[in-house]
Chains A and B, each alone.
Chain A
Amino acid sequence: MTSAVGRPVQRSDIAAKVTGQSCFPQDYSSKDQLYAKVVWAAHPRARVLHIDASRASGVPGVMRVLTAADVPVNEYGIMTFDQPVLVPVGGETHWTGDRVALVVAETEAAASRARDLIDVEYEVLQPIIDPAAAKGAPDLVHADRDSNVIQHLFVHRGETEAALAQADLVVEATYHTQCVEHAYLQPEACLGYIDDEGRVALVVATQWPHDDIRQLAHILDVGERQLRIIVPAVGGAFGGREDMSLQPLVALAVHLLRRPVKMVWTREESIRGHGKRHPFSIRLKTGCTSDGRLLAIEAECVSDAGAYESTSVVVLSDALSFIGGPYHYPSCKVDGYTVYTNNAPGMAMRGFGAAQAAVAYELQMDRMARALRIDPVEFRLRNILTDHAVRLTGNRMPEGTGARECLVAAAQAAGWSECEGHWLAPEITQPALAERRRGLGVACTYKNVGYSFGFDDKSTARVCLHLEPSGQIARATVYLAAVEVGQGVTTALAQIAADALSLPVERVKVAEVDTATSPDAGSCSASRHTYMSGNAVYLACQKALRERVQALRGETGEQTIEASYTYRGKSRRPTTDWDPVTGECSPHFSYGYGAQVALIDVDTETGEIELLKVWSANNAGKVINPATVYGQSAGGLAMGLGYALMEEVVHEAGQLRTRRLSEYYVPTALDMPREFVDIQIEVPDPSGPFGATGIGEIPLLSTAPAVLNALADATGTYLDTLPATPERVWHALSPGRHAL
């Protein structure tokens, strides 16, 4: 029987998706449902003086207007409980995505009308909008904290200052990456109801239903068993559904009113109401020898955490952990700060700090290579991390370090040639028009797979074997709350289970995610499900097979065999948190790697960049499904292109100026490079299922730096601020013009 792993098996959900039969949260309705609408904070920083709901309550059909006083425990948050469900009278708003009241009515029209009739009186305060300024400022976003700095993290290893002083070449630059919106196509929606067992049940798109329940139990002051989350089809996530969005509001309304409640956000509410990618300022100072060996790196990073902590500390941790890139630095002095402001909260987004770091370190590598007149691929290969090499945090890389293989593959595909260890970039022909310049840029990046810094990352899978009377396995059902957000995890897990059980993949079903029946598989984040849940599923299958053998020997006549397995990420490779003195640690148990080469044309008169061709080589350890892995690579390129050239969330004094998709530009089909070469590398990680690690974030990381390095190749100018809009490029190409 041919194995399923490694084949482009048809996605288990695709027939339903192409026929429109897949149901997303907004597609669910209940007969006697109520409708809820949010009253949003009008100001990013204001004291709520008074909420007058009298006019709203008088609208026919309005059931309740809920305020903070109705919330049993008015606090939650994915790491720290610093976020209110509803801002109380006397409390302060911290961003315009804060919620002040919730209207619940019999019809959507009544809820909308009533929402507009709620009068909130504010004492408007001056918003804090610049993280660099807020860092040391006495004016605090959260009055109960000592400082706007949520956390200062660092790694100080070796004698960095001395090394830099002795380096043949020192390069220093400051990079600015922008605030980015997830822009998943499906706006937030939730149907909540009391189920047959009296639980508050939510049908909602979320990346970690069990963690939502943990927080909701705290908010409602009930046991976790009294809550249930069902995750139907999810219309994209990219990290934006890791924090809760409307779950607390709907759960509250259902809990209090004991009737079904539906809420669907408009796109404007979606953009307003969920967090964003952290903007970072990164100052890098790196030193190397004249023959291109890296000596030392100094870095200072400041991220805009926005209104609430969310996962800001972990994003900063990843940014610092990866700030040196997939290269060996003998010494480092890197510091990072994540700072509260009244802008949108920074939260998880595909790349999670490693994306921002990649822009800085890959432009820095390119600058050094250019200054030394060493080929950019060769310079990188001289320093690249391999198995057991020492990385920035002072620990050694594990087996399966595939950075070199990705860089070599992408470079060779793009035309680099190698002769006795020396690499030579291909010649490129310049376009005929004088104002158009063509350039080739390269970037090599990496990121952790799985949760890090000592976190006990786990995934639990339960496998149920349905036996024929003969004892043969007729089919299998796999239960785990590994959320399918479009990436193809459900199919990949079915393939893994099929091979573990020696079954055709058509006879394996991965059950719908329902916390009532699906065990906690951890978050759909950190590119972790193939690795973590893949291992859990594989080992649960093996356990089930052993139990089947026992059952058959014992002739028990059982027709179903069930087995569960909890896989722990730290079980094969323990991870540790930052050392309090040096910052050194062993933070991650697995990694993904990628490299891209970008060929661009620059219109030097307008500043427009046209991405002509991209070669993208990514190491997933083992390609479980080449078709879905290609999809991740192409999708990552699209998101990376947007990050590089056109996406930017603009705040002005804490108010969103990019409120709609007509103002926030996501790449269309016509913006994609006409040629794309996807190279799937398989340097296995022995600790992963079939050697697999993760792929979700990797194909995004190299795009922006490759494009910016191509810009430098074409024009001699590095642009250190994203996005590289035509205007920014035009300014950068014209010294003497007023800088932005």
Chain B
Amino acid sequence: MWDAYLVASTVEDALGKLAQLGDSGRLIAGGTDLVLQAQRGECPARAVVDLTRIPGLSEIREQDGYVVIGAAATHAEIAASPLVRTWAPLLAQACASIGGPQIRNVGTLAGNVVNALPAADGAVALFALNAQVEIATLSGQAWVPIAELYRGVGECTLDPCAEMVTAIRFHSLDAYAGCAFQRLARRRVLALPIVNAAVVVRVDEGTVSDARIAVGPVAPTPFRAAAAERVLIGSAPTAALVAQAAKLAARDAQPRSSLLRGTATYRTAMVEVLVRRALTTSLDLNG
């Protein structure tokens, strides 16, 4: 484990402490991933900097049509947040499906994102929300599209010794939008997903004006089914169209076979099923 445990009082303080630690420091939020990685020798940190005591960092608020979620907000807080449940219910659902109650009390959505695994339920929902992530450095902060944080499986593009996620934001879903989150796992709770799917659609005067379909883990990073999205946009939503889109999503997904979670054949077939169901729900096509 680590030799020093530091607690940051502000974002600047966190970044300053990291800078002093050179390449041996890492940020820690809830630690639900980091502690396990350290125990297994997969975390090079000799010192950690805790960001959960920074005032305001776990806030969830609305600002200029965005829902803004602080980096220290836990899955439980997000799942229970009236703002999130109203303006992005699929994210509340996704966060409510992670781990179990104790994990959700401690684990953060930002930590989920920075861990950069393609199956992360919260991240998959954020991809469907076209979320942006605020990155802070000692020289300032900037919002970047969430996809830019992902280089590969478990590989975040962030410099863990100099950059810090401070917030995540996405546009609130308005009355023309529908969304859904689907998840398939080997038991009801405390299980990584075999496949998950997050969908956000927008219908204007009988035509799909926007469609975002995110699926995991079917690629090294959370995967947007772009071809499926394109076939939907500009058309009237029907069961046949949804079926076609779902097939395209399955065609483009490239899941790996996992000894414990499922073969590529099955996972690909399940992409079609989950995307179809998520689209059907979000387009309100159930009879």
Residues on A lying within 8 angstroms of B by beta carbon are 605-606, 608, 646, 650, 652, 657-658, 662-663, 665, 667-668, 670-671, 725-727, 730-731, 737-738, 740
B189 touches A668 (CB 8 A): yes
The reply to whether the CB of B6 lies closer than 8 angstroms to some CB of chain A is no
The reply to whether the CB of B260 lies closer than 8 angstroms to some CB of chain A is yes
> Could you name 20 residue pairs across A and B whose Cβ atoms are closer than 8 Å?
A605-B273, A606-B184, A606-B270, A606-B273, A657-B260, A663-B260, A665-B191, A667-B187, A668-B100, A668-B190, A670-B188, A670-B189, A671-B188, A671-B189, A726-B184, A726-B194, A727-B263, A727-B266, A730-B266, A737-B265
B187 touches A668 (CB 8 A): yes
- Chain A, residue nearest B265 (CB): A738
- Chain A, residue nearest B270 (CB): A606
A263 to chain B, nearest CB (A): 19
* 8 A-B pairs with least C-beta separation: A670-B188, A727-B266, A605-B273, A665-B187, A727-B262, A670-B189, A671-B188, A668-B189
CB-defined contacts of A605 to chain B, threshold 8 Å = 273
Apart from A662-B192, A727-B266, what are 18 other A-B pairs with CB-CB below 8 Å?
Answer: A606-B270, A606-B273, A646-B186, A650-B260, A663-B260, A665-B186, A665-B187, A668-B100, A668-B189, A668-B190, A670-B188, A670-B189, A671-B189, A726-B184, A726-B186, A726-B194, A731-B266, A738-B265
CB-defined contacts of B191 to chain A, threshold 8 Å = 665
Q: Is the contact region of chain B dominated by helix, strand, or loop, or is it mixed?
A: loop
A725 touches B186 (CB 8 A): yes
Bound-state Cα–Cα, A155 to B128, Å: 63
Q: Is the contact region of chain A dominated by helix, strand, or loop, or is it mixed?
A: loop
CB-defined contacts of A668 to chain B, threshold 8 Å = 100, 187-190
B108 to chain A, nearest CB (A): 19
Known: A606-B270, A606-B273, A730-B266. A671 touches B259 (CB 8 A): no
- Chain A, residue nearest B195 (CB): A606
CB-defined contacts of B184 to chain A, threshold 8 Å = 606, 608, 726
Bound-state Cα–Cα, A652 to B259, Å: 9
Q: How many contacts A-B (CB < 8 Å)?
A: 45
Known: A663-B260, A730-B266. A646 touches B187 (CB 8 A): yes
Bound-state Cα–Cα, A605 to B195, Å: 14
A652 to chain B, nearest CB (A): 7
CB-defined contacts of A671 to chain B, threshold 8 Å = 187-189
Bound-state Cα–Cα, A658 to B262, Å: 14
- Chain A, residue nearest B267 (CB): A727
A94 to chain B, nearest CB (A): 23
A157 to chain B, nearest CB (A): 42
Contacting residue for A730 out of B186, B190, B260, B269, CB 8 A: B269
CB-defined contacts of B100 to chain A, threshold 8 Å = 668
Bound-state Cα–Cα, A646 to B184, Å: 13
A423 to chain B, nearest CB (A): 34
B239 to chain A, nearest CB (A): 12
CB-defined contacts of B263 to chain A, threshold 8 Å = 727, 740
CB-defined contacts of A731 to chain B, threshold 8 Å = 266
CB-defined contacts of B260 to chain A, threshold 8 Å = 650, 657-658, 663
A657 touches B186 (CB 8 A): no
CB-defined contacts of B188 to chain A, threshold 8 Å = 668, 670-671
CB-defined contacts of B266 to chain A, threshold 8 Å = 727, 730-731
- Chain B, residue nearest A664 (CB): B260
CB-defined contacts of A740 to chain B, threshold 8 Å = 263
B237 to chain A, nearest CB (A): 20
Bound-state Cα–Cα, A658 to B191, Å: 13
CB-defined contacts of A730 to chain B, threshold 8 Å = 266, 269
A116 to chain B, nearest CB (A): 10
CB-defined contacts of A658 to chain B, threshold 8 Å = 260
CB-defined contacts of A727 to chain B, threshold 8 Å = 194, 262-263, 266
Bound-state Cα–Cα, A734 to B264, Å: 16
- Chain B, residue nearest A738 (CB): B265
Bound-state Cα–Cα, A657 to B257, Å: 14
CB-defined contacts of A667 to chain B, threshold 8 Å = 187
Bound-state Cα–Cα, A668 to B190, Å: 8
Bound-state Cα–Cα, A658 to B188, Å: 19
B35 to chain A, nearest CB (A): 13
A481 to chain B, nearest CB (A): 36
User: What are the interface flags for B18-58 relative to A under an 8 Å C-beta threshold, 1 for contact and 0 otherwise?
Assistant: 00000000000000000000000000000000000000000
Bound-state Cα–Cα, A578 to B184, Å: 49
CB-defined contacts of A670 to chain B, threshold 8 Å = 187-189
B182 to chain A, nearest CB (A): 10
CB-defined contacts of B189 to chain A, threshold 8 Å = 668, 670-671
Bound-state Cα–Cα, A740 to B265, Å: 11
A662 to chain B, nearest CB (A): 8
CB-defined contacts of A606 to chain B, threshold 8 Å = 184, 270, 273
A190 to chain B, nearest CB (A): 23
B186 touches A650 (CB 8 A): no
CB-defined contacts of A725 to chain B, threshold 8 Å = 186
A703 to chain B, nearest CB (A): 16
CB-defined contacts of A663 to chain B, threshold 8 Å = 260
- Chain B, residue nearest A728 (CB): B266
B79 to chain A, nearest CB (A): 15
- Chain B, residue nearest A658 (CB): B260
Bound-state Cα–Cα, A730 to B190, Å: 22
Among B186, B262, B263, B265, residue most surrounded by chain A Cβ atoms (within 10 Å): B186
Bound-state Cα–Cα, A671 to B100, Å: 13
Which residues of B94-144 are within 8 A (CB) of A?
Answer: 100
B259 touches A650 (CB 8 A): yes
B262 to chain A, nearest CB (A): 5
Bound-state Cα–Cα, A731 to B265, Å: 10
Among B187, B189, B263, B270, residue most surrounded by chain A Cβ atoms (within 10 Å): B187
Bound-state Cα–Cα, A658 to B259, Å: 10
Which residues of B48-98 are within 8 A (CB) of A?
Answer: none
Bound-state Cα–Cα, A726 to B270, Å: 10
- Chain B, residue nearest A727 (CB): B266
CB-defined contacts of A608 to chain B, threshold 8 Å = 184
Bound-state Cα–Cα, A731 to B269, Å: 11
A668 to chain B, nearest CB (A): 5
User: What are the interface flags for B250-287 relative to A under an 8 Å C-beta threshold, 1 for contact and 0 otherwise?
Assistant: 00000000011011011001100100000000000000
Bound-state Cα–Cα, A608 to B183, Å: 12
- Chain A, residue nearest B287 (CB): A432
